[in-house]
Amino acid sequence: MAHTFICLQYHLVFSTKDRKRFLSPDCTDRIHGYMGGIIRNIGGEILCVGGTVDHVHVLCSLRADMCVAEAVRTIKCNTSKWMHETMPSLSDFAWQEGYGAFTVSWLNMDAVVKYISGQARHHKKTTFQEEFVHLLKRHGIAYDEQYLWV
């Protein structure tokens, strides 16, 4: 076959280091927009970004030759650097080491966009830790609780 065709959307989830509440509502639009620019710069397509004060959700597609781990590393590294340079009050900012990555069927895109867009409302009842464990279970991902939050 002469061409490569893919339809893979990724729901990426990662938190601030120690789930500190760094991402205040007054700066999230700028941060989310910057993340979108990073994804476009690596040849991906940003579909939705959302989150709350201690974590972010990114729905995106990536080029066929871009692995998820490299994309997440690029997003986290570049947003951290940019935040340190442009927001002096966030000089202690850092992302957690790990992340969650879940594939999303084209048929479920609307539901995931709605979920990501409703993060503020969702987190009035649920913590990030509860949400992340739910995502792991829902996607059948095994984990050891003692290593989940270190």
45-81 per-position pLDDT tens digit: 999 999 999 999 999 999 999 999 999 999 999 999 9
Does the predicted model carry a pTM greater than 0.85?
A: yes
Digit-coded pLDDT (tens) for 119-148: 989 899 999 999 999 999 999 999 998 888
**Domains of the chain in sequence order:** 9-143 (3.30.70.1290)
Residue 19 has pLDDT above 90, yes or no: yes
Q: Average pLDDT in the 79-104 region?
A: 94
The pLDDT of residue 1 = 63
Cβ density class 18-44: b for 16+ within 10 Å, e for less:
ebeebbeeeebeebbebbbebbeebeb
Q: How many C-beta atoms surround the C-beta of residue 133 within 10 A?
A: 15
What share of the chain in percent tops pLDDT 70? 99
Is 12 strand, coil or helix? strand
Confidence of residue 26 (pLDDT cuts 50, 70, 90): confident
Q: What is the mean pLDDT of the chain?
A: 93
> Residue 149: what pLDDT?
81
